[in-house]
A and B are shown apart, each in its own frame.
Chain A
Amino acid sequence: MPEIKTNNLTHTFGKGGENALTVLEDIDLTFESGSFNSIIGTSGCGKSTLLKMMAGLFDPSDGAMTLDGTVIHGTDRRRGMVFQQDAVFPWMTVAKNISYGPRLRGASKAQQAEIEAKWTEMVGLKGFEDRWPRELSGGMRKRVDIGRVYANDPDVLLMDEPFGALDAQTKERMQSDLLQTWNQTKKTVIFVTHDIEEAIFLSDKIVVLSSRPGRVHHIEEVSLPRPRTDDMRLTEEFLEIKRRLWAMLDH
């Protein structure tokens, strides 16, 4: 089972140059296998940078990250990522986007069709299989993005503000769906958001980063029972955590 650790991780953009910018410093974290973790922090504190490094898109300037004890270096389909920006391929239809990963590994036409059917349904895009991404709304494209990563079946899911662009209702539905899928598959999830309520609702553990440079400011263990339901958002325990985190993000 996949467990991610960061040891003394520090990252400086343009290290050695005159515009050197240290965005992350001494990050020591453990994300247990099968757990749901969130990272919150103010804009520009280095959340996306941290996630991209875990994906293997670039190496930290100091320290290391390990997946099950093996140092992470380079990308790997075991660590899937939903990017903050729109990453849906505009030259592929919805269905072809969804089955992109399996197709890379030579999945047969029949396997592809099965995967396409399953995941378009899961992300609520049934009927849109043959549409071009340009014909979809921003929120729908995000769902294609998410479905594509799910369909690729990674062990670790890195999600960078995936629901940031959605309206409140769609967002809550997507959150419940995400939890349901996570429940069935028990992947390790690392979820970046700046929505505190979202973080509490989804997570076992919330990492609060301070900014400039980003350091681990606080780790909140959320012990709300699972499965989580929408009425939990109003319980005293939930609101208590919310107040505490609010106060932290304030300064």
Chain B
Amino acid sequence: MNVLDTLTSRRLWLGVLSVAVCFAAYIWVTNRPDNNPALLPPISDIVKSFFVNIESGSLHTALGASLFRIFMGFFIGTTMALIVGCLVGWYKTIEFLVDPLIEALRPIPPLAYIPIIIIWFGIEEFSRVLIISIACFMVCVVNVIAGMKNVPQVYVDAASTMGASRFQVFRTVAVPAATPFIITGYRIALGAAWTTLVASELLAAQNGLGFLLQEGRRYFLTDQVMMVIVIIGACAFLMDRAFRRIQAYLMQWSEARE
């Protein structure tokens, strides 16, 4: 067994261990006679709530609606960020024009736009996707810009002396050299998409995971609330894992791959 294998297996076991400890602690607490199941429902109730919601179809509907919003918002937001970030990071004129705008808007939390977006567009699917897009765009674009600005000069010079036009340098040198930053931006955007999704659904939605949470609170279904939290955590975790796979593939060439 080489060093890498032991490291990987150690990571796996320690990860499993910490989850298992939390799990055991939860079971222990909920089994105590003084536990109030209305506040901390036992795991069996959470699992039951899972099946109840599957049977009634409400979990499918909620998950479907939420995933759709995530994908749309993430796709639109990051695509815009890629285009804008590349242009701002590479062309000085565009940078001078757009950069102050981005810097000014950056500190505003995306959720702050919710009221104005509702006033303009109503409580529509479009509004929710828009908010997630804005959140993804903002966190992603700064990374793309940073990536474009950190392209080592010697690569640009080497390409130019081999006859590359300014656009060819952009396409064959700047973009690939910036991929580590760009991918990081995409990953952070995915996290931002989930955060914003739930918040926007809590505030204004008739369906989705956030809505299920809200419903659970209104009818005091603590087991349902817990169940949705676990579902959200699992989805976000799986997506991040899938993303790491893509990242590892795209970054094969890089020395620092983890």
Chain A positions within 8 Å of B, measured between CB atoms, are 52, 55-57, 75-77, 79-81, 83, 85-87, 89-92, 100-101, 104-105, 132-134, 148-149, 152
Contact = CB atoms under 8 A, between A and B. Distances in A.
Interface stretch (B37-45, B61-69, B159-167, B188-196): B159-167
Contacts of B155: 87, 89
Interface string B173-217: 100110100000000000000000000000000000000000000
Nearest to B176: A91
Q: Which of B163, B172, B252 has the most CB of A within 10 A?
A: B163
Interface string B120-153: 0000000000000000000000000000000000
B253 A91 contact: yes
A96 to B, nearest CB: 10
The bracket for how many chain B residues form the interface is 20 to 34
Q: Is the interface of A mostly helix, strand, loop or mixed?
A: loop
A23 B155 CA distance: 24
Given A101-B162, A101-B163, 13 more contacts: A52-B157, A55-B157, A76-B163, A77-B163, A81-B157, A81-B161, A86-B154, A91-B177, A91-B253, A100-B159, A100-B172, A104-B163, A132-B252
Given A57-B157, A104-B172, A80 B253 contact: no
A83 B253 contact: no
B168 interface: yes
A134 B254 contact: yes
B158 interface: yes
A116 to B, nearest CB: 15
A4 to B, nearest CB: 14
Q: Which 9 A-B pairs have the closest CB atoms?
A: A77-B163, A87-B158, A75-B160, A91-B176, A101-B162, A81-B161, A91-B253, A132-B253, A87-B154
A203 B172 CA distance: 35
A81 B155 CA distance: 12
Nearest to A89: B155
| Chain B interface helix/strand/loop/mixed | helix
Nearest to B162: A101
Contact of B160 (A57, A133, A134): A57
Nearest to A145: B158
17 contacts: A52-B157, A57-B157, A75-B160, A77-B162, A79-B161, A86-B154, A90-B255, A92-B176, A92-B253, A100-B162, A104-B162, A104-B163, A133-B253, A134-B255, A149-B162, A152-B162, A152-B163
A55 to B, nearest CB: 5
A134 B163 CA distance: 25
B26 to A, nearest CB: 45
B253 A90 contact: yes
A81 B255 CA distance: 26
Contacts of A80: 161-162
A87 to B, nearest CB: 4
A83 B176 contact: no
A144 to B, nearest CB: 11
A152 to B, nearest CB: 5
Q: Which of B157, B161, B179 has the most CB of A within 10 A?
A: B161
